[in-house]
Amino acid sequence: MASRGGSLGSSSDEDSSMSFREKLLRINLSLGAQDVEGMKFLCMGLVFEKRLERSSSASDLFDLLLEEELLSEDNAFFLAELLYSIRQNSLLRHLGYTRECVEQWLPTRRRLSLFRNLLYELSEAIDSEKLKDMTFLLQDHIPKTQMTSLSLLACLEKQTLIDEDNLRLLEKVFKSVAPNLVKKIENYKRERAAQEAMPPTDRETESLHQGEEEVFSHSDIKQLVQALPEVDVYRMDRKHRGHCVIINNHSFEGLNERTGTHMDAEYLRRVFQWLGFTVHMHHDVTREGMEKILREQRSHPGHADGDCFVFCILTHGKLGAVYSSDKALIPLREITSHFTAQQCQALAHKPKLFFIQACQGEAMHPSVLIEADALNPECVSPSLQGSIPEEADFLLGLATVPGYVSFRHKEKGSWFIQSLCNHLKNLVPRRQDILSILTAVNQDVSQQADASGRKKQMPQPAFTLRKKLVFPVPSEAL
């Protein structure tokens, strides 16, 4: 039986003796400019648009796919899917695939959405006369520049005039210009509805029996897939991503300043704006100021149309609590409780993320340029779970485990926040969920140390999330 990690199908002796890059070069030489534009269009949403725009040839695009880990010598299926989608099936042989093999694997290994494929198919069916008529009908919605059918559809998508759930504008235009294309949209709707109605495990089981040698009986596979938990994902397609609040306390009454915290605050602002959030920054917040911010956010009307809510606190702290700028101690549970479904119905069933850069216990004597965000040392290590409501959809990301300090560089910012922002920037484009990202942050921060090598830190999340939280990939690089 063929390996599932690599390609399927037969390849010629000549192709099998060539290096992988030589095969890619062969494919590159066989593709025209229109083919390249088609593949770039299909890759939208999977790769940063700005990076796609800089790819002027198929080889540029292949390098980009290799860099983004969408293509490798061991698994070239995504490129095979692209070639299949642009109807360059004869080139599949260079990758060891056939058209039949790609069709066999698409139900379980598809990377391109049905919506993306639909738009590409529509673009192919729009000839110059239809394009001219469509441009005339849509002149109030599109710029007055020369457009191809692909660029026209991409423009409508960027302006959110069409999306995978809303094709009414295209249907209206096609009824006047190309009635036969309305059928393609109707077929897409039926196929998408069937795909959503069919559990992923059923689709996977079905593909295992199409042309492969049977290793398990049908009943064995049924029992296996029924034992696997279904993983759901939080919805991320509302009108806006949501609101992100950043509390940045630098100066305190009678306490040390937190030099370097503005580096953290600015990096958080940039990253969450890049992710699509509306960011609210507050500096040196008193106890009264915190209560006002919590009340305002609890009743903010914008939560109703948002996907998610983020609350970041950069301050001094102690076990299970943080300090306001006027040295009032505020329990974390008091902060998070404002956003339960009972207190804030607009955020019910939506993920609520809290990131806390503050110590949670025993302070250590810092070396030069390293400070601890701690006051009133503690020598206990209880669970963090009591800091978040028992109901679902909360995540609390603390810079350190209970009972220990967290470190902040006076010039570069804190270990935890800098690592969090770096990993969000690097792993969101790879479609990593938030818990996987926080695991990477744990690994990164745990490996850091001060100049003496003796002072270490270990972040810790607590959560009641019910689904995977995967942020959509932003259209531009940060």
Report yes or no: 33 and 55 within 8 Å, Cβ to Cβ: no
Question: 391 pLDDT band (50/70/90 cuts)?
Answer: confident
pLDDT exceeds cutoff 60 at 147: yes
The residue ranking higher by pLDDT, 388 or 384, is: 388
CB 330 within 8 A of CB 322: yes
CA 366 from centre of chain: 36
pLDDT in tens, 82-124: 999 999 999 999 999 999 989 888 877 888 989 999 999 999 9
At residue 125, what are phi and psi to the nearest 5 degrees?
-90, -5
pLDDT, tens digit (0-9, with 9 covering 90-100), for 243-256: 999 999 999 887 88
Query: What is the set of active-site residues?
Result: 316, 359
Q: What is the pLDDT of residue 135?
A: 92
Edge to edge, what strands does the sheet with 321-323 contain?
317-318, 321-323, 329-331
The closest alpha carbon to 434, from 474, 463, 400, belongs to: 463
* CB-count exposure of residue 335 (10 Å: 0-12, 13-18, 19+): buried
Q: Which domains does the chain have, with CATH numbers?
A: 1-112 (1.10.533.10), 118-193 (1.10.533.10), 240-463 (3.40.50.1460)
Which residues, at least 6 apart from 374, have a Cβ–Cβ distance to it below 8 Å?
316, 317, 318, 359, 361, 362, 363, 405, 406
Which range is least confidently modeled, 238-242, 361-365, 415-419?
Answer: 361-365
Among the residue ranges 20-24, 215-219, 332-336, 466-470, the one predicted with the least confidence is: 215-219
Of 314, 313, 306, 290, the residue nearest 344 (C-alpha):
306
| pLDDT for residue 28 is more than 50 | yes
